[in-house]
Chains A and B, each alone.
Chain A
């Protein structure tokens, strides 16, 4: 039955595509849609995601189609917009993404991209109307467009044979810690001898994407990373590893072992690196011991976030930090048949502790769940802040939208992310116990 969604945290496919594109240096998005689409992306996503957007008005080129273009077709408007964009914005790659109205009308966007390429401009496109799906699907559509179309533009860069690993499934901004998480996962992979291809964030540019076909492995860190990995398997026969959750704390060791094994690395070297990281984490935990008991860390908690995030962070909070799970609310819009597929360790936690599992992106519904479970700690998005205050529980903002929290390169993944997560949770508990 259809129903309305209060305060949804999942934007549309066009926005998901933009989030990927904007996270690659030198790639210039060109939105072919109504003016509201680009602006809503700026207001509803970029400003709410805790980190940097260029100053001033939304820095996105948009064809801003009107009724005239809907009736007579907007392809020529897009051609004009593309021409103007290449004149005023110097980019390595121009990426056309389309919205609902221009897709309904059937504007020939591939032809416009081809026209651009015929004039020696590097142009790719993705058909990303919101009615095709949500923000995560948009990430997949844009990734697929780059995978499929970039090889036509340039010969690929050589990678290091056997060591390059593409990392998929962390959707920029939809995971507010995306940049820091990728950097930390990259650091860990480097530690065992992998050459990580992060693809987005912190200086990653189109050359990273040109190297994608050379990879020895595609690593999917959420369900949303599986489609790009599958596509690359089809095109280049590249093997893939579906990890399906954010590696947090000791679980990062499991990820490194799995990657190392897949690439045929020396397990001893991998283990040596993991042990050094484990020792560091345990040193932090030892230093925390006094505060842990004083502030009463061992509380019942509810975690509201995407599946990969909930599974990864949840497992760490329970297995390493000793917190007690009351409930998890999964907010990404997983397709039918996917909801039941929980990562093993996470599934074990739910069974062992009798934690409740919900799937919802509705603010009011989630608030009701939190109210009912009445945990001693709430981890979620800015949309849960009100209900956490209402039940008097300490609260930590971890998932999109963040609203008033700044995140630049802070991580919650990996070993270092685990340490900052402990800092953040501890600070929230101490502040809450004052």
Chain B
């Protein structure tokens, strides 16, 4: 790898959890700070970079690869807010083909095209469908691609479950040179139990929570305009939340190999939280806690 390749960061999270919104806002902040940024959407839905591009169409890497034998960077990229170079890996229609292999093929093509050597980014952000259902979705965290991964999760159990699966994948690849975990980004923080639940999960796994993104109408509103919060409402509190996240990713180099919970451990942990939330809602007070 050349010196100019920049920091490669993979951001994982369960589908629909807000990782594309989070990633795009982080990209926007980094671009706003003067960095050269590439954001690569690694999800067959190919909507990772939509809010960086004002909702305009962008042919995906794989669609282009299917149509033409020789692919150029201009064919598969668009410059979005703040100069962020936006790329969507794309994939097959649902239920057909192999999306995992698609991600593999798309990342290989970007390397073949020497995108990173030529564009000389300071940051490359991979926004990856986080269920890590097969080897293909783990490509960005394998040796030689991203050096750090972050996971976006809400306090919903399925999101935590997906995050735990990512921890398992990191456990597998990190010892042979794959990415390590930078931390957890807690998203859609709304209910009173959200923050302590994610904190507790992170503590169990031995990983830091690098920021808490509250559920906010600002985000929904900006997305309706086809923009990031940074572009649409740069003075908002929510924009500052993303700025802090980006600052952490920029300045901190800490990373860990997480301790993934096994099936029974995760179930036991979830059940304990189920009890706590139920008790909170029915007014049970334990150990003199006031919730």
Contacts and interface: CB of A to CB of B under 8 A. Distances in A.
Contacts of A75: 96
A5 interface: no
Contacts of B102: 71-72
B66 interface: yes
Interface in B89-118: 91-93, 96-99, 101-102, 105
Interface in A56-86: 67-75
Interface residues of A, number: 12
Nearest to A105: B98
Contacts of A279: none
A55 interface: no
B65 interface: yes
Interface string B58-97: 0000100110000000000000000000000001110011
B91 to A, nearest CB: 7
A102 to B, nearest CB: 10
A67 B97 contact: no
A71 B99 CA distance: 6
B77 to A, nearest CB: 19
A104 interface: yes
B96 A72 contact: yes
A68 B66 contact: yes
Interface in B30-76: 62, 65-66
Nearest to B66: A68
Nearest to B65: A68
B96 A73 contact: yes
B289 to A, nearest CB: 51
Given A72-B62, A72-B66, A67 B101 contact: yes
Given A72-B62, A72-B66, A67 B96 contact: no
Contacts of B98: 70-71, 73, 104-106
Contacts of A68: 65-66
Contacts of A74: 97
A105 B97 CA distance: 5
A104 B135 CA distance: 12
Interface string A82-109: 0000000000000000000000111000
Contacts of B66: 68, 71-72
Contacts of B62: 71-72
Contacts of B93: 72-73
Name which of B98, B99, B102 has the most chain A CB atoms within 10 A of its CB: B98
B268 to A, nearest CB: 34
Given A67-B101, A67-B105, A105-B97, A73 B65 contact: no
A72 B93 CA distance: 7
A40 B96 CA distance: 27
Nearest to B108: A67
Given A68-B65, A68-B66, A73 B97 contact: yes
Nearest to A74: B97
A430 B105 CA distance: 61
A57 B87 CA distance: 43
Nearest to A75: B96
A70 B101 contact: yes
Nearest to A68: B66
B105 A72 contact: no
Contacts of A104: 98
A68 to B, nearest CB: 6
A67 B97 CA distance: 10
A76 B17 CA distance: 34
A73 B101 contact: no
Contacts of B92: 71-73
A71 B97 CA distance: 5
A69 B91 CA distance: 12
Name which of B62, B91, B97, B101 has the most chain A CB atoms within 10 A of its CB: B97
Name which of A69, A105, A106 has the most chain B CB atoms within 10 A of its CB: A105
A105 B92 CA distance: 11
B72 to A, nearest CB: 18
Contacts of A72: 62, 66, 92-93, 96-97, 102
A75 B96 CA distance: 9
B108 to A, nearest CB: 9
Nearest to B62: A71
A128 to B, nearest CB: 19
26 contacts: A67-B101, A67-B105, A68-B65, A68-B66, A69-B97, A70-B97, A70-B98, A71-B62, A71-B66, A71-B91, A71-B92, A71-B97, A71-B101, A71-B102, A71-B105, A72-B62, A72-B66, A72-B92, A72-B93, A72-B97, A72-B102, A73-B92, A73-B97, A104-B98, A105-B101, A106-B96
Interface of B: 62, 65-66, 91-93, 96-99, 101-102, 105
Interface of A: 67-75, 104-106
Given A70-B97, A71-B62, A72-B62, 17 more contacts: A67-B101, A68-B66, A70-B98, A70-B101, A71-B98, A71-B102, A71-B105, A72-B66, A72-B92, A72-B96, A73-B93, A73-B96, A73-B97, A74-B97, A75-B96, A104-B98, A106-B98
8 interchain residue pairs of minimum CB distance:
A73-B96, A73-B97, A71-B102, A72-B97, A72-B92, A105-B98, A70-B101, A71-B97
